[in-house]
């Protein structure tokens, strides 16, 4: 059951961040001048979520690679 909830959150997380950035781009281009600042926080959160996910993936992959190399060297 825990694995099922985790996969649902990953799917939602993967879809929400690009949609947030897309809404920011569309809103910024089509809104009047005084309401454009409303979309910047939404865009920064979307970009943060994308970058955070990417850096976490790279960090976890490096940790796994180091563990594999350690086990390989110990044999």
Q: How many CB atoms are closer than 10 A to CB 5?
A: 9
In the chain, where the domains are located? 2-74
pLDDT in tens, 32-66: 777 778 888 888 998 998 888 889 889 999 999 99
pLDDT in tens, 6-28: 677 777 778 888 899 999 999 88
**Whole-model pTM?**
0.68
Token reading at 32: 């009047």
For CA atoms 53, 55, 56, 60, the dihedral sign is positive
Q: Residue 3 — very low, low, confident or very high, per pLDDT cuts 50/70/90?
A: low
Cα gap 59→26, rounded to integer Å: 33
């Amino acid at each position: 059951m825990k694995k099922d909830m985790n996969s649902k959150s990953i799917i939602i997380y993967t879809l929400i961040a690009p949609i947030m950035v897309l809404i920011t781009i569309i809103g910024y281009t089509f809104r009047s001048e005084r309401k454009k600042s409303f979309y910047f926080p939404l865009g920064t959160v979307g970009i943060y979520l994308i970058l955070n996910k990417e850096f976490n993936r790279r960090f976890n992959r490096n940790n796994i690679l180091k563990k594999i190399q350690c086990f390989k060297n110990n044999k």
